[in-house]
Amino acid sequence: MALDARATTPTRIKKLSPGELLLVWADGHETHFPAPVLRRECPCAACRDEMTGARILLPIHVPDDIEFRRIDLVGQYALQFEWTDGHRTGIFSFDFLRELCPCEVCRANSK
């Protein structure tokens, strides 16, 4: 699914609680991310095989009560999270974050 610039440009980034992040996109869509959902998708080389993309970090490795310790902007294209398990090497580009949107509409579109 090719997404246009508005769909992948956030206009608001808000930590609603230690365990939930809200992104509002330029196309008006809103994405609510529970912290464990994002932690399980971490794209860094320690969590995903760099060549094959296969998961190294398995979903069951991430506890359901994991939270954001820090959320930082990376330049103008991505977010970097520090989690309560101490991990902080993943860089989540805005494109990737929009693809990960767990809402029903987006899930249905990506299938």
Partner 1 sequence: MAFWNKDRETAPGEEQVLAVLKKVLDPDLRKDIVSLGFIRNLKIEGSSVRFDLNLTTPACPVRDQMRDQAVELVKALPGVEKVEVNMTSEVRQSPQIDRTALKGVRNIVAVGSGKGGVGKSTIAVNIAASLAAAGARVGLLDGDIYGPTTPIMLGIETAPKSIGNRIVPQLAAGLKFMSMGLLVKTDQPLIWRGPMATKALQQCLFDVDWGELDYLIIDLPPGTGDVHLTLAQAIPLTGAVIVSTPQDVGLRISMKTLRMFQQTRIPILGIVENMSYYICPHCNSRDQLFGEGGGSRAAAELGIPFLGEVPLDMAIRSQSDLGTPIVLAQPEASSSRSLREIAEKVAAQVSIRSYEAPALEVE
Q: Which residues of the shown chain bind partner 1 in the complex (CB under 8 A)?
A: 9-15, 71-79, 91, 93-94
Distance CA 109, CA 111 (A): 5
Q: Of 12 and 61, which has the nearer Cβ to partner 1? A: 12
Question: Which C-beta is closer to partner 1: that of 11 or that of 61?
Answer: 11
Tokens representing 25? 């996109």
C-alpha distances in Å from residue 111, one per residue of 4, 12, 13, 107, 108: 18, 27, 26, 7, 6
CB of 25 closer than 8 Å to CB of 8: yes
DSSP state at residue 8: G
User: What is the smallest separation between the CB atom of 18 and partner 1, expressed in angstroms?
Assistant: 13
Query: Smallest distance, Å, CB 76 to partner 1?
Result: 4
Shortest Å, Cβ 45 to partner 1: 14
Closer to partner 1 by CB, 55 or 95: give it: 95
Whole-number minimum distance, CB 77 to partner 1, in Å?
Answer: 4
